[in-house]
Amino acid sequence: MRLALFLALAIAFGATETATAQTLVAGSSPGPTLTVVDKTERTEQLMELNLHVPNAADPSDPFDNLESGNPPLWADEAILASEGGVESEDGPRRVVVAGAVNAAAASVEIGFDDAQTVRIPTIAGEAYTGRYAGRVRFFLGEAMVAKDTEDNPRTLRMLDGNGAVIGVGIGPDSNRKARVLRRRVGGRLVRIYANLSSSLQPLPGAPEHRSEELCLHVAVPSVGEEPQVACQEPDEPLELGGRRGCGRTPTTLAGFVPAETERLAVHLGSGRSFMLTARAAPFGRAGRIVAGFVPRDEAIRTASAIDASGRVLARGRPEVAPPNRRCDTDFRFDNWRFYGDFEPRLGTPPGTEVAGAVGGTRLLVRDSRELLCAGLDQLDLDGADCTPPPYKASYSWLYVDLKRGFVAGIYPARITALDILYRDGGRARIPATEGTGYTGRYRADVHFALAATPVGRTVVGAELLDASGFVIGGATAEGPGADQELIGRPSTVLRAGFARLAVGARADPVYGGKNPCVGLALGDERSDCRDDQGQVDSNSINARVPCDRRRTILFGTARHDVKRVEIRLSGGRRITAELAAFPRGLGARSKIYLAVIPRRVAATEVRFVGGAPNDDDRTSLELPGRSAARQCGYALQTYL
């Protein structure tokens, strides 16, 4: 299960930390040996392996490699340990490898960087009688590799008794790059390139299946990282990103637009607009991309993808702040990323079938090539709800709707039942079966769960069981039943002109408790308390520059020991923001602050005075330094 779910269950049901005794499962002295021990940390079940390798050069100092992880209950899972030593100055090295795999694996095939491959049979390890006895197998072997080869294997495949691959534990990604844009601007060479990656995406019956992902990256020489700024996703027709500029270096913009797009219209902070011409995606991929530079010193208000007839295909509000005036030592070209507004087209596409129904709610499914599409009562006509079918269920999800009173999920066919876990400590078992009306490609490979639950009773997740009733996976609650809900109405704590800063709390139905929140409201607006959080004792900086108000609004949280928040203005003058503590009872140690800057005045820095600095000794942040009269329609958020 996910760590967050385990932590929640530990709080709800109690937690223990225990371990059984080490058991020898492979090898014998004086050679290498492998021992195993079951451990429980909070509610998480772990196996810990110890690979012991004698040291021929110094018998008093043997090699021991401890590796722990979740028990390998699925065919592509493994706990792997390796140790190597130098056999001679120039000769090959012996690497000892050992591990635990799923009981379905009769052997493992391990590859190293020097192209050496070794196949090692698995053994039952009869001495092991722990909680996973009969569900896991062990192996211990060695390989001779070139002198400079890493000890850690490059590949790991699990094979059945006939030598067929049933799971891939380690499979390296491959990458292909293509230049999109390379230009010297503002004294810096900026590159935008596309990267097509191929990685493992196993499917039922196809454990070595791979999937490809196309992403755009931006590289600026003074910064070591070259981050992804946009990746092609079928359910996101408009995805843009880039790096915010500084000094003479403008902001970069790159991303994916709908296939019919001819140009991207960008509305800037000054009120001007500019266009980027769309081009075909690299590597022969479907879709189109845009890449370029935002005019110098400009913010981004909105972006619209437009086809040849002038029709807007997708739009949204990136609200990217203008570049900082200086490239100081702390500025690292902030990354920005944006997904456009998208109205799904829902209906009943061809091939739709009913996998199950409960209380008037239908779980609909259909095949789309190698994908499985699923939805409640309706499906997406454009395939945005299509994903690879579940191959395993170590980490899974459970759709929860508390108001309508049902849960739903799709799991591998090994899952035959779910134990629904309630916040109050109770549980209820529901079946997971073949879809009653699903006749598609994965009919024998997936099971569906759809059942009623008591209305209002909080579901925190589920344990997933096989036909013997053994837990082989977990599911985290998702959907409307897992959404945090506002407790009451936020109360206004600070005012500055037309701006109000309200605080409140949101209840967490899954993990319990309440999380303090901060919301900005302008004029007669009501705050939804989603603009910042108060549970972390940290310094945050939020800037909002709405065009209808033409003011720069600065607000955020300050550490409990901060004495005041200073804002430096253009010309060097400093003002002090309004500062107040969170009301008692919200569980927040931090303070909040608020300031409204006149329309023709630029804010250049926010400084926190009197509090302890963060880990890199920063107590201030430089701002773009543009007045609201010149640039508006953007927002900025960061933490120190």
**DSSP result, 191-225:** EEEEEEEEEE--BTTBTT-EEEEEEEEEE-TTSS-
Same domain, 556 and 603: yes
Of 177, 184, 252, 178, the closest CA to residue 221 belongs to 184
4 pLDDT above the threshold of 50: no
Same domain, 281 and 298: yes
Same domain, 192 and 334: yes
Same domain, 297 and 148: no
Residue 479 near residue 400, CB atoms below 8 Å: yes
- Secondary structure of 260-293 in HEC code, one letter for each residue: CCCEEEEEECCCCEEEEECEECHHHCCCEEEEEE
Tell me the average pLDDT of the chain.
Answer: 90
Per the structure, the count of domains in the chain is 4
What single-letter DSSP state applies at residue 152? S
Structure tokens at 371: 């994908």
What was the pLDDT predicted at 14?
Answer: 44
Of 513, 518, 525, the closest CA to residue 540 belongs to 518
**Residue 455 amino acid letter:** V
Domain boundary among 290, 312, 339: 339
Same domain, 318 and 282: yes
Same domain, 377 and 321: no
pLDDT digits (tens, 9 = 90+) for 6-62: 334 443 444 455 666 889 999 999 999 999 999 988 778 899 999 999 987 788 888
Same domain, 375 and 267: no
What pTM was estimated for this model as a whole? 0.87
Kind of pairing between the strands at 288-293 and 252-257 = antiparallel
Same domain, 124 and 140: yes
What was the pLDDT predicted at 17?
Answer: 59
What was the pLDDT predicted at 614?
Answer: 64
Instruction: Give the C-alpha separation, 630 to 303, whole Å.
Output: 19
Residue 294 near residue 266, CB atoms below 8 Å: yes
Domain boundary among 170, 205, 240: 170
482 pLDDT above the threshold of 60: yes
What dihedral angle (degrees, nearest 10) is formed by the CA atoms of 212, 216, 221, 223? Answer: -80
Same domain, 195 and 56: no
Residues 190-210 have a mean pLDDT of 95
2 pLDDT above the threshold of 50: no
Same domain, 520 and 468: no
Residue 47 near residue 71, CB atoms below 8 Å: yes
Same domain, 202 and 288: yes
Instruction: Give the C-alpha separation, 294 to 587, whole Å.
Output: 42
What was the pLDDT predicted at 487?
Answer: 87
What range does the domain containing 211 cover? 175-339
Same domain, 211 and 144: no
H or E stretch covering 11: helix 3-13
What was the pLDDT predicted at 60?
Answer: 84
Domain boundary among 482, 509, 537: 482
Residues 72-87 have a mean pLDDT of 87
616 pLDDT above the threshold of 80: no
